[in-house]
């Protein structure tokens, strides 16, 4: 008897029913659609395509008084075939991409009607939607992925959407998101103006915070260790040219490999991310280490090894014992005379040279060439060159000063240890680690504290 009554009720419901007209058609008031969602899973979230996916139960409630009935039961659970015979809202996802309804083993839809004409329409959806991302703080960024729902054809005069009071957005207990922590899901109702008129829309934003552990282990720690490894060259003797250059080139190439690997999962954005700035900082220190050795090699190694220099005008001739000097008058009487290379410092602003006076090499080249070597020793004006000027000569590799210094040092007979440590290396051992540590401290503080607060964007970004 109950079955016969339900069949009779259904037949009566569809008599004179117009499925093309909304429930409140002709009444002067819009039909209200209440909506809620239960999210079962979320992900993957793609930075390259700037989209995200989620699996959810999407539920809509509205009242259609034309379907109210009197019967033996309060609710009717109907077949989905009934959906084709009644009016239902044309809800769509404005920022959606390739969304679909699950159909295994049958279309996952539910239709339920109670005696007052209140309708529940539920379906299981997999939604893929656009998620415009700002990657300036990557990988210490927070992202806000929107989901925007509304009617495709009915303006606000005919259809109005509202979130269901209470838990309109809920999550399955224990749901986890790969690479992200879920922060919040603010939602709102708003009106969006299109060419066809004003439409009622619903929006929810899923605010996510990226996990940093993976990038700290895979990128940041290796980069720091590689930069520290490049500083080992400061303790390698300056005569070991191939060792120091080889170490510097190896660190640069290793950083290049890490940089390429870290960019494979990111889009080709027009700005630098936080990770890019850290890699550039690491590149700078590795390249600066090579340039530091170039300065050591150029300004402090002349005459000590790779760049031999024999004084042409004032050669120093010695016995086999390097400390027994002889005069030029005894030159014919001595045997086994050797020319030695004098180890001197070209740039006194970096090296521990004995304080002395050097000749004024700024005089005209023609005047200098016209003087004899004897007159040079007695008539040249001597003075101390200011430190800032010495630094300028070194930075711009002043060849005239370099040659003059070579002659001056060799003529004065300075003796230095070939294995002495360059003062540039001594300064670099402190300067490089200290500056790198300060930059790292500033980097982490600035990016960790620079977290944007969520604000609604009007008009909303529907697509990229």
Q: Could you identify the residue written with the tokens 């209470």?
A: 166
pLDDT value at 56 more than 90? yes
pLDDT tens by residue, 232-274:
999 988 888 889 999 999 999 999 999 998 888 888 888 999 9
Q: Is the pLDDT of residue 324 over 70?
A: no
pLDDT of residue 3: 54
Query: Any idea which architecture 1-210 has in CATH?
Result: Distorted Sandwich (2.70)
Would you place residue 178 in the very low, low, confident or very high pLDDT band (cuts 50, 70, 90)? confident
- Please tell me the least confidently modeled range out of 26-30, 199-203, 231-235, 279-283: 26-30
pLDDT at 333 over 90: no
CA neighbours closer than 13 Å in the CB half-sphere of residue 271: 8
Q: Is the pLDDT of residue 171 over 90?
A: yes
Percent of the chain with pLDDT over 70: 75
The residue ranges of every structural domain in the chain are 1-210, 214-305+423-450
Higher pLDDT, 308 or 13: 13
Confidence of residue 52 (pLDDT cuts 50, 70, 90): very high
Instruction: List phi, psi (to 5°) of 207.
Output: -90, 125
State mean pLDDT over 135-144. Answer: 92
pLDDT at 310 over 50: no
Q: How far apart are CA 289 and CA 429, in angstroms?
A: 10
Q: For the whole prediction, is pTM greater than 0.85?
A: no
- Which CATH code of 1.20.58.390, 3.40.630.10, 3.40.50.880, 1.10.10.10 fits the domain covering 214-305+423-450? 1.20.58.390
352 vs 349: CA distance, rounded Å: 8
pLDDT value, residue 284: 96
pLDDT (tens digit, 9 = 90+) per residue, 352-411?
444 444 444 444 444 444 444 444 444 344 457 787 887 787 667 677 877 777 676 566
């Amino acid at each position: 008897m109950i079955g016969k009554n339900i069949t009779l009720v259904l037949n009566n419901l569809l008599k004179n029913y117009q499925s093309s007209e909304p429930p409140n058609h002709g009444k002067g008031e819009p039909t209200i659609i209440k909506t809620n969602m239960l999210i079962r899973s979320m992900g993957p979230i793609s930075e390259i395509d700037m989209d995200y996916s989620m699996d959810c139960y999407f539920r809509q409630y509205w009242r259609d008084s034309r379907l109210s009935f009197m019967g033996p039961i309060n609710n009717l659970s109907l077949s989905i075939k009934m959906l084709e015979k009644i009016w239902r809202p044309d809800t769509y996802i404005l920022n959606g991409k390739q969304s679909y309804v699950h159909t295994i083993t049958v279309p996952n839809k539910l239709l339920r009607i109670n005696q007052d004409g209140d309708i529940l329409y539920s379906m299981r959806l997999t939604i893929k939607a656009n998620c415009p991302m700002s990657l300036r703080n990557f990988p210490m960024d927070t992202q806000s992925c929107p989901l925007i729902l509304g009617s495709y054809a009915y303006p606000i005069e005919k259809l109005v959407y509202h979130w269901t009071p209470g838990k309109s957005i809920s999550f399955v207990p224990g749901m986890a998101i790969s690479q992200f922590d879920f922060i919040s899901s603010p939602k709102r109702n708003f009106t969006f103006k299109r060419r066809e008129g004003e439409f009622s829309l619903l929006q929810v934003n899923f605010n996510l915070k990226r996990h940093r552990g993976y990038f700290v282990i895979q990128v940041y720690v290796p980069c720091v260790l590689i930069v520290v490894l490049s500083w080992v060259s400061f303790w390698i003797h300056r005569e070991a040219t191939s060792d120091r250059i080889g170490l510097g080139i190896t660190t640069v190439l290793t950083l290049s490999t890490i940089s390429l690997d870290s960019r494979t999962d990111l889009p080709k954005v027009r700005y630098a991310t936080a990770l890019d700035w850290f890699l550039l900082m690491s590149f700078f220190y590795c390249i600066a280490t090579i340039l530091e050795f170039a300065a050591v090699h150029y300004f402090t190694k002349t005459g000590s090894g790779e760049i031999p220099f024999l004084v042409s005008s004032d050669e120093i001739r010695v016995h086999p014992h390097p400390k027994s000097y002889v005069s030029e008058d005894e030159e014919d009487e001595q045997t086994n005379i050797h020319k030695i290379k004098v180890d001197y410092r070209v740039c006194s602003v970096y090296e521990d040279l004995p304080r002395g006076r050097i000749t004024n090499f700024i005089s005209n080249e023609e005047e200098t060439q016209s003087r004899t070597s004897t007159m040079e020793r007695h008539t040249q004006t001597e003075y101390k060159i200011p430190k800032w000027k010495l630094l300028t000569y070194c930075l711009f590799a002043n060849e005239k000063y370099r040659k003059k210094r070579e002659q001056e040092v060799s003529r004065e007979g300075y003796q230095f240890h070939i294995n002495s440590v360059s003062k540039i290396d001594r300064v670099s051992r402190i300067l490089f680690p200290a500056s790198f540590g300060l930059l790292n401290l500033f980097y982490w503080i600035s990016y960790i504290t620079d977290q944007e607060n969520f604000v609604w964007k009007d008009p909303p970004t529907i697509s990229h």
